[in-house]
Amino acid sequence: MSTRPLPSSFDQPSESPGFLLWQVLLQWQRRQRKALLPHKLTHVQFVLLAGIAWLESPSDCVTQARLAHHAKTDPMMTSQVVRTLEGRGLVERHQHPTDTRARALRATPEGKALAADALKVVEEVDREFFSVLGSDVSQFHSLLSRLLREEG
């Protein structure tokens, strides 16, 4: 008879890569949330606002579908967050020039300025958070990228 409370393949929860990833993610999110608080942005609002600003180009429209794909976010949640950003005057939604079903997204000048300011603190949190990895940070990045590719 097993003495384990749950039928796990791990002796301890801390041996599970998924559980460790969850804990690290929560730690990182707490730091990002605190850093973004003065900017009055949640992390997902920042990611989507910065994504719009990043993807914008004079020759190509940013759609909600393209933004969701870029950020790997749920399309419905992306739509809700974009509406919130639009309500704050940070994003504009216009009729897409060629797709009647789509909306073209554009960051307002205020949205671009906020995204640029928030990017500085987000990147600083990342530098501090991942600094404990030292020279292993590039390998860590490579491993994360591999996991992301596997999800496809």
What residue type is assigned to position 4 of the chain?
Answer: R
Tokens read off for 102: 């789509």
105: nearest Cα among 145, 139, 78, 140: 78
pLDDT at 68: 95
pTM, 2 dp: 0.88
Q: Which pLDDT tens digit goes with each residue over 49-74?
A: 999 999 998 777 899 999 999 999 99
Q: List, in order of start, the domains of the chain with CATH numbers.
A: 39-119 (1.10.10.10)
Tokens read off for 104: 């073209």
Q: Which pLDDT tens digit goes with each residue over 92-143?
A: 998 888 888 888 899 999 999 999 999 999 999 999 999 999 999 999 999 9
Q: Coil, strand or helix: which one is 36? A: helix
Q: How confident is the model at residue 5 (pLDDT cuts 50, 70, 90)?
A: confident
